[in-house]
């Protein structure tokens, strides 16, 4: 029996197998891996044991979690404890203190029974000094933690606390909240047998395996299936569960954070996800589990939106989104995650609104798609988002269809825009909305618009690109939007001159830093001593990603997604991609928290940041992010030599 502190040697083959599957040890050759493994020992720590104490514990070993999990935290001068993160299987503990030669920098405590492989300090330092991949890996890891520290400062210093807000969407892994092993039955089990088993076990779902292999999970049934597919349809209870199961089973990796599972559920409508570890489903996580975990969950608002039977019932619901987002920021969400959640909730309101409006007005005479553009199209909405939308519909076959379409969609757009205003989405000052007849047109007209803008670009056409070319389908026949996107990619890739103009516009804006790296702010007027974080800081990243997306035929519209695809397709190198992502998210975080604080103070949100109000760390991070803009421009100059 292994007890806490009972350090003993482990079979080298077991250690080698473990190390070969975690970074950066998996980069070692076989001989070096076996040599390292001979020095590794194993120790067991029960749940609730404090492994390290910040400022006190001297590290003699690097801890590698083989099984179980720990939480890291830090206490401030007033004794208030801040949860930093959770670490599970394959994670490390103590690398930074060993490399720096200091005591532990965090409090580490086990959250379940945990086994750790212990690598002696001197062996780890030798790897740092002799293996190129090791310092590179840990340097990247530490730099990410520095960014996280900046985000922590943003949350703790810029937001007031509200009682005991213990939120875990971004720190708790789904594997940590699995309550029990899944219950599995064969496909030939009868519906009645399955229902009895679920009732006896007090569970809401069963996994279904194939007749030949109990490890081969091929489907799932839930209590909802019993209601909707059996009782509602009057099925014979003797039928096999195979007839009502859903297949394949939606899954999420056990090391995914709960927020990822929540997004999956909200975007797909799936309420039960299998939790997968090493290719095997170890349990089921439900939307109810996450609602209990967080309390005031975005999922509860999501469900409330979907239940509305009258459009007026949607009006107050959008006003609840800021509080949802406040909780996500407080918990530690990065800007990209926050924008995804805002987008999902806004899209859900739009989908429900237009569904009810269609029901009220009757079926449209032609297939159509409600297009979302600008920041909505990029899924980058914040708390200040004007409407940018349009309608594209199928080409009429004759005058009768044309007149019917114009009459229907004119009225449809008018009512939809009015309802969106009542939901809290302001009108677009530039009238880029479906209610404007110019932006409510059939496919052929839209394609002609795009062809004209690309063929002979002038300043107005280039401005159109920043709004219209980031479109996506919001509701209706998505294939119409897909066809338009394909057409846009084809014509822009043929027009190098147009891309050159876009690149030139992108490089025209300079980072808001002086020669001596001071912030360039407004000298007078309403926003004196402030800078526009959207126009001066974020827009260069958005424009950069758009130009390259159009050049390379990338369908993504979200800036971070575009950068990710450009990196995957080796258009961007590892360093520039990582720098661009971190710089963009840092600025988005500042912008979101700035706007949220304005909302809570009863001020209309804007994008004007006062650098003097930032901490020293925030100022440094913001300067660093602005300097990345010059790196982006240098990259464009190599691709578009504009002189």
Q: Show the domains of the chain with their CATH numbers.
A: 8-158 (2.60.120.10), 174-294 (3.10.580.10), 296-488 (3.30.460.10), 495-643 (1.20.120)
CA torsion sign for 627, 633, 637, 643 is negative
Q: What token pair was written down for 69? A: 């999990």
How distant is the alpha carbon of residue 245 from its chain centre?
Answer: 30
Specify whether the CB–CB gap between 201 and 183 falls below 8 A. Answer: yes
Specify whether the CB–CB gap between 187 and 218 falls below 8 A. Answer: yes
| pLDDT-based confidence at residue 536 (cuts at 50, 70, 90) | very high
- Residues paired with residue 220 on neighbouring β-strands, in sequence order: 207, 246
For the ranges 264-268, 305-309, 312-316, 589-593, which has the lowest average pLDDT? 264-268
pLDDT digits (tens, 9 = 90+) for 365-396: 999 999 999 999 999 988 767 889 999 999 99
Report d(CA 372, CA 351) in Å as an integer: 12
* Residue 82, number of CB atoms within 10 A of its CB: 12
Q: What token pair was written down for 592? A: 């979101």
Confidence at residue 79, expressed as pLDDT on a 0 to 100 scale:
58
| pLDDT-based confidence at residue 561 (cuts at 50, 70, 90) | very high
- Residues paired with residue 370 on neighbouring β-strands, in sequence order: 391, 475
Report d(CA 482, CA 58) in Å as an integer: 58
Average of per-residue pLDDT across 508-512: 85
Report d(CA 161, CA 587) in Å as an integer: 22
Specify whether the CB–CB gap between 289 and 182 falls below 8 A. Answer: no
Q: What token pair was written down for 462? A: 């280039």
Average of per-residue pLDDT across 133-143: 69
Higher pLDDT, 289 or 107: 107
The residue assigned the tokens 């007849």 is 437
pLDDT digits (tens, 9 = 90+) for 112-131: 888 999 999 999 999 988 88
Counting every residue written for the chain, the total comes to 643
- Residues paired with residue 472 on neighbouring β-strands, in sequence order: 372
pLDDT digits (tens, 9 = 90+) for 442-454: 999 999 999 988 8
Strand order in the sheet with 41-45: 8-9, 41-45, 114-120, 61-67, 92-93
Q: What token pair was written down for 259? A: 């927020």
In this predicted structure, the answer to whether residue 176 has a pLDDT above a threshold of 70 is yes
Kindly report the pTM of this predicted structure: 0.63
Contacts of 533 (CB under 8 A, 6+ apart): 587, 590, 591, 594, 607, 608, 609
pLDDT digits (tens, 9 = 90+) for 177-204: 787 888 999 999 999 999 999 888 888 8
């Amino acid at each position: 029996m292994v007890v806490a502190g009972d350090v003993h040697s482990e079979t080298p083959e077991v250690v080698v197998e473990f190390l070969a599957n975690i970074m950066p040890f998996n980069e070692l050759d076989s001989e070096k891996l076996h040599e390292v493994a001979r020095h590794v020992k194993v120790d067991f720590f029960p749940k609730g044991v404090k492994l390290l104490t910040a400022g006190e514990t001297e590290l003699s070993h690097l801890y590698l979690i083989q099984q179980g999990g720990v939480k890291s935290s830090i206490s401030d001068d007033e004794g208030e404890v801040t949860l930093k993160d959770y670490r599970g299987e394959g994670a490390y503990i103590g690398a930074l203190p060993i490399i720096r030669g200091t005591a532990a920098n965090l409090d580490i405590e086990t959250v379940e029974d945990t086994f750790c492989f212990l690598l002696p300090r001197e062996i780890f330092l030798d790897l740092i000094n002799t293996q190129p991949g090791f310092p590179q890996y840990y340097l990247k890891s530490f730099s990410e933690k520095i960014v996280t520290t900046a985000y922590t400062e943003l949350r703790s210093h810029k937001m007031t606390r509200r009682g005991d807000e213990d939120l875990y969407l971004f720190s708790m892994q789904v594997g940590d909240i699995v309550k029990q092993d899944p219950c599995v039955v064969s496909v030939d089990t009868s519906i009645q047998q399955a229902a009895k088993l679920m009732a006896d076990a007090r569970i809401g779902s069963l996994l279904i395996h194939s007749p030949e292999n109990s490890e081969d999970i091929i489907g799932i049934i839930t209590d909802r299936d019993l209601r909707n597919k059996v009782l509602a349809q009057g099925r014979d209870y003797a039928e096999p569960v195979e007839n009502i199961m859903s297949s394949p089973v939606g899954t999420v990796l056990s090391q995914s954070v709960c927020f990822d599972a929540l997004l999956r559920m909200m975007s797909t409508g799936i309420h039960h996800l299998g939790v997968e570890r090493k290719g095997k489903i170890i349990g089921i996580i439900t939307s109810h589990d996450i609602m209990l975990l967080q309390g005031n969950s975005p999922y509860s608002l999501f469900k409330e939106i979907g239940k509305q039977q009258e459009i007026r019932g949607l009006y107050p619901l959008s006003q609840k989104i800021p509080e949802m987002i406040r909780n996500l920021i407080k918990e530690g969400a990065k800007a990209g995650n926050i924008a995804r959640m805002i987008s999902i909730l806004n899209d859900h309101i739009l989908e429900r609104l237009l569904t009810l409006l269609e029901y009220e007005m009757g079926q449209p005479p032609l297939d159509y798609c409600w297009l979302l553009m600008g920041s909505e199209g990029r899924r980058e909405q914040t708390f200040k988002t004007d409407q940018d939308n349009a309608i594209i519909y199928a080409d009429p076959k004759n005058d009768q269809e044309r007149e019917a379409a114009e009459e229907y969609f004119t009225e449809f757009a008018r009512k939809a825009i009015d309802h969106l205003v009542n939901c809290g989405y302001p009108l677009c000052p530039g009238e880029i909305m479906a209610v404007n007849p110019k932006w409510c047109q059939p496919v052929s007209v839209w394609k002609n618009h795009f062809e004209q803008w690309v063929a002979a670009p002038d300043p107005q056409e280039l401005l159109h690109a920043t709004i219209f070319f980031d479109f996506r389908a919001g509701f209706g026949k998505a294939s119409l939007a897909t066809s338009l996107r394909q057409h846009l990619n084809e014509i822009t890739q043929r027009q190098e001159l147009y891309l050159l103009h876009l690149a030139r516009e992108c490089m025209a804006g300079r980072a808001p830093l002086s020669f001596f790296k001071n912030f360039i702010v407004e000298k007078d007027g309403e926003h004196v001593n402030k800078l526009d974080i959207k126009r001066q800081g974020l827009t260069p990243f958005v424009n950069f990603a758009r130009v390259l997306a159009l050049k390379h035929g990338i369908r993504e519209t979200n800036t971070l997604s575009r950068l990710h695809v450009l990196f995957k397709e080796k258009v961007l190198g590892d360093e520039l991609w990582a720098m661009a992502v971190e710089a963009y998210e840092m600025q988005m975080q500042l912008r979101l928290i700035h706007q949220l604080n304005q909302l809570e103070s009863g001020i209309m949100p804007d994008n004007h940041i006062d650098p003097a109000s930032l901490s020293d760390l925030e100022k440094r991070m913001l300067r660093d992010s602005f300097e990345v803009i010059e790196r982006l421009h240098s990259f464009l100059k190599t691709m578009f030599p504009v002189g």
